[in-house]
Amino acid sequence: MKGQIHQLLAGFYDVQTADGQLYRTRARGNFRKRKVSPMVGDFVEFSAEAGSDGYILSVDDRRNALVRPPVSNIDQAVVVTAATEPTFSSNLLDRQLVALESQHIHSIIYFTKTDLLTADQREHFTPLIAGYKAIGYDVFFSQQAFSDTDLNRLRDCFKDRLTVFMGQTGAGKSTLLNHLSPDLDLATGEISQVLNRGKHTTRKVGLLSVGGGLVADTPGFSSYEDFKMDVRELGQYFPELQALSPSCRFRGCQHINEPGCAVKAAVDAGEVMKSRYENYLQFHQLIADQKPRYDKSRK
């Protein structure tokens, strides 16, 4: 039989077939030998008899996969970003966007706590919101927190897609989920238990049905430890930089010190967000400074 893993709990994988039937399975021992770990979101072939546990036989190739949350075959991500409390960080937002771009996952930026901003603070966000929209990101930023208009528009994005929610601890991911799907009838803390947010040592990962699609939540975080791409690849994951690269004088331009750089010219002209470029430079340096990893198992 074929199906998709919808939940992982204490070594058991709950697999749902196309007709909606749910089967509890385990991964066969040869997966460990091959160093393959099935993930929530994987499409698998499995065997199961009525009234008994089944076994996963094979895992289909993944389109993409994230470590946090450990989910594969993701269509899009909602990056929940607090406008305040905690203080907004374009650096943290861009880290998340780069991670998603590297996996070819469409990003939606949803600002929370906008109702706590003063008029002057909201005005400060205006060019920033326009900048991210100009890049091509879907951005939700309303004066009213969790407005029906925004919730309906976001809910419409979920149909027939697997969506992950990402964001800093305290940004309001669970609160947003509660507004999106009131039929869950769960308090915010209870959503954390269902989706296994909170402690990183928990073993349960699952998908919820929301808006005609599947939604996964993820533990909050403050930063990514490092970047997984080569330093020469980083510019590919800034769409506005990637679009300008063919106009640079030198092929393979890193947009730092090279003459005739179209990206630097666009930054100076105000056509590329200064904050994005500054974050690009910082990420570039971080990647360059990362120590190479060596496989300790190799002799």
- Asked, for residue 224, whether it belongs to a domain, the answer is no
Q: Are residues 95 and 200 in the same domain?
A: yes
- Asked, for residue 270, whether it belongs to a domain, the answer is yes
The CATH number of the domain holding residue 95 is 3.40.50.300
- Asked, for residue 69, whether it belongs to a domain, the answer is no
Q: Are residues 245 and 188 in the same domain?
A: no
- Which domain, by its residues, includes 237? 231-289
- Asked, for residue 45, whether it belongs to a domain, the answer is yes
Q: What residue spans of 1-41 are helical by DSSP H? A: 29-33
Which pTM value belongs to this model? 0.86
The CATH number of the domain holding residue 27 is 2.40.50.140
Q: Are residues 116 and 152 in the same domain?
A: yes
Q: Are residues 141 and 259 in the same domain?
A: no
Residues 81-87: what's their mean pLDDT?
A: 92
Annotated binding-site positions for GTP:
112-115, 167-175
Q: Are residues 83 and 210 in the same domain?
A: yes
Q: Are residues 47 and 82 in the same domain?
A: no
- Asked, for residue 258, whether it belongs to a domain, the answer is yes
Q: Which of 216, 250, 272 is the last residue of a domain?
A: 216
Q: Are residues 201 and 280 in the same domain?
A: no
- Cα dihedral sign, 125-131-134-140: negative
Annotated binding-site positions for Zn(2+):
248, 253, 255, 261
Q: What pLDDT, on the 0 to 100 scale, is given for residue 51?
A: 61
Q: Which of 181, 216, 251 is the last residue of a domain?
A: 216
Q: What pLDDT, on the 0 to 100 scale, is given for residue 113?
A: 95
Annotated binding-site positions:
112-115, 167-175, 248, 253, 255, 261
Cα 34 to Cα 27, 29, 58, 147, 245: the distances in Å are 12, 9, 12, 48, 40
Q: What is the pLDDT of residues 231-255, one digit of tens each?
A: 999 999 999 999 999 999 999 999 9
- Asked, for residue 35, whether it belongs to a domain, the answer is yes
Q: What is the pLDDT of residues 34-58, one digit of tens each?
A: 778 899 999 999 998 766 679 999 9
- Asked, for residue 296, whether it belongs to a domain, the answer is no
Domains contained in the chain, number: 3
**HSE toward the beta carbon, residue 64, CA cutoff 13 A:** 18
Q: Are residues 202 and 279 in the same domain?
A: no
User: Are the beta carbons of 182 and 152 closer than 8 angstroms?
Assistant: no
Burial class (CB in 10 A: 0-12, 13-18, 19+), 49: exposed
Q: Which of 216, 242, 263 is the last residue of a domain?
A: 216
| Percent of the chain at pLDDT exceeding 70 | 86
Q: Are residues 258 and 145 in the same domain?
A: no
Q: Are residues 212 and 246 in the same domain?
A: no
Q: What pLDDT, on the 0 to 100 scale, is given for residue 202?
A: 37
For every residue of 120-176, DSSP letters joined together read HHHHHHHHHHHHHHHHT-EEE--SSTT-HHHHHHHHTT-TT-EEEEE-BTTS-HHHH
Q: Are residues 155 and 273 in the same domain?
A: no
The CATH number of the domain holding residue 259 is 1.10.40.50
- Asked, for residue 197, whether it belongs to a domain, the answer is yes
Q: Are residues 284 and 156 in the same domain?
A: no
